[in-house]
């Protein structure tokens, strides 16, 4: 269930939110799009590291 929520939020962010912010032509919207994408990348990396560590322990 958590993976489904992560994929849904990812799709919504990159398909709906980011293109809308980039088309808006405001510095603030570009900064928010970049920061949100960086946060998404960090969260994805943390999730992958957690899954790798969890599978190594068993």
What is the model's pLDDT at position 12? Answer: 86
Domain boundaries along the sequence of the chain: 2-57
For the full predicted model, state whether its pTM sits above 0.75. Answer: no
What is the model's pLDDT at position 42? Answer: 93
Per-residue pLDDT of the chain (58 residues; tens, 9 = 90+): 777 888 898 888 888 877 877 788 788 888 888 898 899 889 889 988 988 898 887 6
- The CA-CA-CA angle for residues 50, 52, 57, to 5°, reads 95
What is the model's pLDDT at position 58? Answer: 65
Using CA atoms in the order 23, 26, 31, 36, what is the torsion angle rounded to 10 degrees? -40
């Amino acid at each position: 269930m958590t993976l489904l929520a992560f994929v849904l939020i990812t799709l919504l962010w990159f398909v709906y939110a980011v293109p809308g912010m980039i088309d808006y032509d405001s510095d603030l919207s570009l900064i928010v799009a970049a920061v949100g994408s960086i946060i998404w990348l960090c969260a994805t990396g943390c999730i992958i590291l957690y899954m790798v560590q969890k599978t190594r322990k068993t």
